[in-house]
Chains A and B, each alone.
Chain A
Amino acid sequence: MYKIISKKELNASVTQMEIEAPLVAKKAKAGQFIILRVDEEGERIPLTVAGTDPEKGTVKIIFQIVGATTARLNHKKEGDFLQDFVGPLGEATKTEGIRKVCIIGGGVGCAIAMPVAEAFHRLQADVTGIIGFRNKEIVILEEEFSRCCSRLYVMTDDGSHGKAGNVTIPLKELLEAEECFDEIIAIGPLIMMKFVVETARPYDIPVTVSMNPIMIDGTGMCGCCRLTLVKEGERVTKFACVDGPDFNGYEVDFDEAMSRNRMYNDFERHAYEETCNLFKEAR
């Protein structure tokens, strides 16, 4: 069992928790993920590590309440326990040889982008941050980003905070002004990552994306998280849990990944409604 050391609401639908998991805390690096189960009958869900405190033995996770399991997770209080918490899984984000990086986070994806930005900042790389949200109410981690970015662009779809528009607008402006990034790292909804790739394509700058497919074991056993890379016209199957979650954005078949992520939409909607009703009754 893994104790919830602290819990903080970042916005109405995004929560941050610190979980006591000393072995994971000692090992986890930016870009890696964990798999947790809330309770004995719960499903296994992957969440990317949002930070660690190896001394305290804690791992920070940030999650959006999107379905039954995240609703159950959010129902847990400080001092409660999680049934399972295993990791760190996947490969860490590669930082070698990158001196100037543009990190793009979208929505709750910023929770994953933030530790990556911090990692580069600690390595004294020059970090440009672009973070995007639907509106002012759901902006998260702006302060944390501003601490590790030499420049930070905050975008909202409706212009209620920062500038209006999506993250590709400042990216395009920077690229047009001949900004030479060693790497662009995009973390967020699949559709956002796809458009970041398309924006960067004419400029021939490497783009790394962090994939978030459905998973079960997270150790390469089930193959549920497979995605397709297109390398020189050839289609290659990769497992996000062991080969990723980071991939070369130019190679990822995003349309296929988006379709696969919708596989259980009906089931999930139903399970979510049931969970919400359950919690309502409990109140």
Chain B
Amino acid sequence: MAIIPKKHVMPVQEPELRAHNFQEVALGYSAQIAIEEANRCLHCANQPCVSGCPVNIHIPDFIEKVKEGDFEEAYAIISKSSSLPAVCGRVCPQEKQCESKCTLGIRFEPVGIGYLERFVADHHNNESFSDPVPVETNGHKVAIIGSGPSGLTCAGDLAKKGYEVTVFEALHKAGGVLVYGIPEFRLPKKIVEKEVDTLKKLGAKIQTDVVIGKTLTVDELFETGYEAVYIGSGAGLPNFMKIPGEALKGVYSANEFLTRTNLMKAYETDTMTPIMKGGKVAVVGAGNVAMDAARTALRLGAEKVYVVYRRSMEELTARKEEVEHAKEEGIEFRLLNNPIEILGYHNLEDPRDPKNGFVKGMRCIRMELGEPDASGRRKPVPIEGSEFVIDVDTVIMAIGTSPNPLIKNTTEGLEVNSKGGIIIDENAMTSRQAVYAGGDAVTGSATVISAMGAGKKAAAAIDAYLKQL
């Protein structure tokens, strides 16, 4: 049988339509296309894709089941390694992970592993009504701090082994970045809710409205009977550029802009949460969070959205698919442009003018690429005298985050590195006995799947540790 050189195309909502709604962009494979795509897999002996997956899903095995049309068995295989298949099938950068190692990819396009994972998970969520059965408890209590991808994964793996797991979440809703950060059009919230529900059915408890480091400390968790603690509290404090004008009204961190929209539902018509809608918007930065912010601004009704980035398309860190989607929707990329000042409206004649103190523009300078810097990427250098102003009403800073100090400050003996990330050993244990950590709290801003990988590794380490006690 001849090999089909290209991946089956993912059906999507048309750009003109989707730019004005919050419904999911990618619509998912049909069963028939899924089987056809699965048939592209060579089922090669050395299975390089598995090593490309941070949680080592047995990829060729689940694809084999898709070929056979046994989607439930395919789901069972994925579930052995991943707690959040429907999430990963949507937000993993597969092109840099499993699919980058695909043998077929040497000569043709790799197998659409991500699309297949998503298909299998969605099929299960839509068709299967069998609830997971809680495992009999082994009597050991573990506390998980944070209900993002890393905490949920760690909790899921431990619950499946019979541990009594409690997940503590600071916000009012479980899911971490999956609910406050990643927008509805890329990851529908009902999928996250379903994953959280599955975890609860496995016997894990989720306590919202508890800020560890404030409401309770790590030491108090041990005092109340927890034998191990996993810190998956995420990255925290948003970075700003430290340029003039960042305190003007209309300047947001991407975290704030996305939290208002996703968690607080500012996009709904009868919302209680205000957000600046419409006008011209500049998003500074070019990672996945920047793409999310830009496309959210567009859907909230912006007439023009710019992505402003000091490097070029080559160095941009967002997933290619997200960049393509953003471009199709009409987002304009202003590359090799660096903001140097945000300009505000100030009516000197009328101090009570309601527009006073709002953003009216952003001064930028053009850049050119010089020698490679410490990151290996060519360093952007300002071109003297090339300053210009873009007319904007809203500026969203999407230039990363720094670890949150709340837990470090209240946990004696917990060591952090110079950037504030928690230091862990090869078993994911921190400088404190029985306290483990992973995800962005350790690495700084990274991906959902790497956080999940860390949660998985820590769960195995916690299991080993508690067994030998």
In this complex, how many residues of chain A approach chain B with their Cβ under 8 Å: the count is: 43
Contacts of A221 in B (CB 8 A): 180, 234, 236-238, 255, 259, 404
Q: For the complex, is B445 an interface residue (Cβ under 8 Å from A)? A: no
- Residues from chain A with Cβ under 8 Å of B242 in the complex: 237
Is residue A276 contacting chain B, with contact meaning CB distance below 8 A? no
Task: Assess whether A223 is in contact with B272, with CB atoms less than 8 Å apart.
Answer: no
Q: Name, among B180, B247, B271, the residue most crowded by chain A CB atoms within 10 Å (CB to CB).
A: B247
Complex: A237 Cα to B242 Cα, angstroms: 8
Q: Which of B216, B249, B265, B404 has the most CB of A within 10 A?
A: B249
How many A-B pairs fall under 8 Å by CB?
A: 112
- Contact of A55 with B by CB under 8 A: no
**Which residue of B has the minimal Cβ distance to A237?**
B240
Q: Does B405 contact A (CB under 8 A)?
A: yes
Neighbouring B residues of A17 by C-beta, 8 Å: none
Q: Which of B211, B236, B238 has the most CB of A within 10 A?
A: B211
B 175-191 contacts with A by CB, 8 A: 180
Report chain B residues within 8 Å CB of A84: 172, 208-209
Measured CB to CB, the nearest residue on chain B to A69 is B272
Residues of B within 8 A of A24 (CB): 215
Residue of A nearest to B169 (CB): A86
- In the complex, what distance in Å separates the CA atom of A223 from the CA atom of B260? 12
Which of A115-123, A196-204, A261-269 lines the interface with chain B? A261-269
Report chain A residues within 8 Å CB of B240: 223, 226, 237
Choose one: B208, B214, B236, B264; the contact of A43 (CB below 8 Å). B264
Q: Assess A44 versus B172: contact at CB under 8 Å? Given A219-B404, A228-B247.
A: yes
Closest to B172 in A: A84
B235-264 interface with A by 8 A CB criterion: 236-238, 240, 242, 246-247, 249-250, 252-253, 255-256, 259-260, 264
Contact B214 A223 (CB under 8 A): no
Specify which chain B residues have a CB less than 8 angstroms from the CB of A259 in the assembled complex.
249, 356-357
The distance in angstroms between the C-alpha atoms of A41 and B40, with both chains bound, is 47
Closest chain-B Cβ to A93's Cβ sits at a distance in Å of 16
B44 at the interface (CB under 8 A from A): no
A24-B215, A219-B211, A220-B237 known; A83+B172 contact, CB < 8 A: yes
Is A51 an interface residue, CB under 8 A from the partner? Answer: no
Q: Which of A220, A226, A264, A268 lies in contact with B406, CB distance below 8 A? A: A220
- The B interface is mostly helix, strand or loop, or mixed, namely loop
B273 on the A face (CB < 8 A): yes
Select A23's contact among B215, B259, B404, beta carbons within 8 Å.
B215
- The CA of A85 and the CA of B234, in the complex, are separated in Å by 22
Pairwise interchain contact A87-B274, C-beta atoms closer than 8 A: no
Q: Is B460 an interface residue (CB 8 A)?
A: no
B249:A27 contact, CB within 8 angstroms: no
For window 214-229 of A, CB contacts with B under 8 Å fall at 216-217, 219-224, 226-228
Does A66 lie at the interface of the complex (its beta carbon under 8 Å from any beta carbon of B)? no
Contact assessment for A223 and B211 in the assembled complex, using a CB-CB cutoff below 8 Å: no
Expressed in whole angstroms, the Cα–Cα distance for A68 and B271 within the complex equals 11
Interface presence of B139 (CB below 8 A): no
Known pairs A217-B170, A237-B242; A222 contacts B255 (CB<8 A): yes
State in angstroms the CA–CA spacing of A213 and B132 once bound together: 45
Inter-subunit contact B238/A223 (CB<8 Å):
yes
B272 and A43 contact, CB distance less than 8 A: yes
Instruction: Report B246 CB to chain A, min CB distance, Å.
Output: 7
Using A87-B215, A88-B215, A256-B247 as known contacts, say yes or no to A224 and B357 having CB atoms under 8 A apart: no
Give Cα A23 to B210, complex, Å. Answer: 9
**Residues on B facing A (Cβ under 8 Å):** 170-172, 180, 208-211, 214-216, 234, 236-238, 240, 242, 246-247, 249-250, 252-253, 255-256, 259-260, 264-265, 270-274, 354, 356-357, 404-406
Of all A-B residue pairs in the complex, the 9 with the closest CB atoms, nearest first, are: A259-B357, A267-B274, A223-B253, A222-B256, A264-B274, A86-B209, A223-B238, A263-B249, A43-B272
A-B contact list, 24 entries, CB within 8 Å = A37-B172, A42-B272, A43-B264, A43-B273, A85-B209, A86-B209, A88-B215, A216-B259, A219-B404, A221-B238, A221-B255, A221-B259, A221-B404, A222-B238, A222-B256, A223-B256, A224-B252, A224-B256, A228-B247, A237-B240, A259-B356, A259-B357, A268-B274, A271-B274
Known: A219-B170, A263-B274. 11 other contacts (CB 8 A): A27-B214, A41-B272, A44-B172, A88-B215, A89-B211, A220-B405, A221-B255, A239-B237, A242-B404, A260-B357, A271-B272
Interface residues of A (CB under 8 A from B): 23-24, 27, 37, 41-44, 68-69, 83-89, 216-217, 219-224, 226-228, 237, 239, 242, 253, 256, 259-260, 262-268, 271
